[in-house]
Amino acid sequence: MNQDHIQKLKKLKLIEPDPVFLKKSRVLILSAKSVNTSAFRWPVLVWTMSSVFAVLIIGFIVSISILPAKPVLSAALDTQSLNNEFTNLNISIQLQEINYDQSVGQTINSAIGEIKNNAVKHLNDAVLKNESAGLNLEESSSQINQLLDNLVSN
């Protein structure tokens, strides 16, 4: 019985595609570029990417080992810039000292000149007594008291 059905199945071999369709489909398929003929293939892409990555890593390692280490703080501790700063600092300190010495010298000179001209009058007891007698201490003290009261009340 099966042979009968098998024979029926074998009749399906008569089915054939339309010749016009075959021709059109063949032309369309063969005109489409095979993806595999192009250079863009996964193995090639992976190989290229891994090569580039390896070169980058090697370059990084070489740059670390060859170039001197320069940490961030070293910029602030640079000896040359520190020397420059230190030299400028010395100069400015010296200039300040010179200015001070000059002013002190002038003061001393003027004091000595005054002493010479006045023949040390201001140290004379009689002169001092005359000057103190002429002073109005009560008026000035009342004024001072008033100013102090104002200050306290504020």
Residues that bind other proteins (CB under 8 A): 1-2, 5-6, 8-18, 21-22, 25-26, 28-30, 32, 34-37, 41
Minimum Å distance from CB 18 to other proteins?
Answer: 6
Nearest distance in Å: CB 48, other proteins: 18
Minimum CB–partner distance for residue 42 and other proteins (Å): 10
Q: Which residues contact 116 (CB under 8 A, 6 or more apart)?
A: none
Q: Which is nearer to other proteins, 37 or 79 (CB)?
A: 37
Decide: 121 and 127 in contact? Cβ < 8 Å.
yes
Which value, to the nearest 10 degrees, does the dihedral of the CA atoms of residues 12, 14, 17, 19 take?
Answer: 180
Longest dimension (CA), the chain: 165
Residue 1 vs 152, nearer CB to other proteins = 1
Provide, rounded to whole angstroms, the least separation between the CB of residue 7 and other proteins.
9
Q: Which helix (H) or strand (E) holds 134?
A: none
Nearer residue to other proteins within complex by CB, 16 or 125:
16
User: Nearer to other proteins by C-beta: 31 or 153?
Assistant: 31
CA neighbor of 65 nearest in space, from 57, 73, 75, 54: 57
- Residues in CB range of 121: below 8 A, 6 or more apart: 127
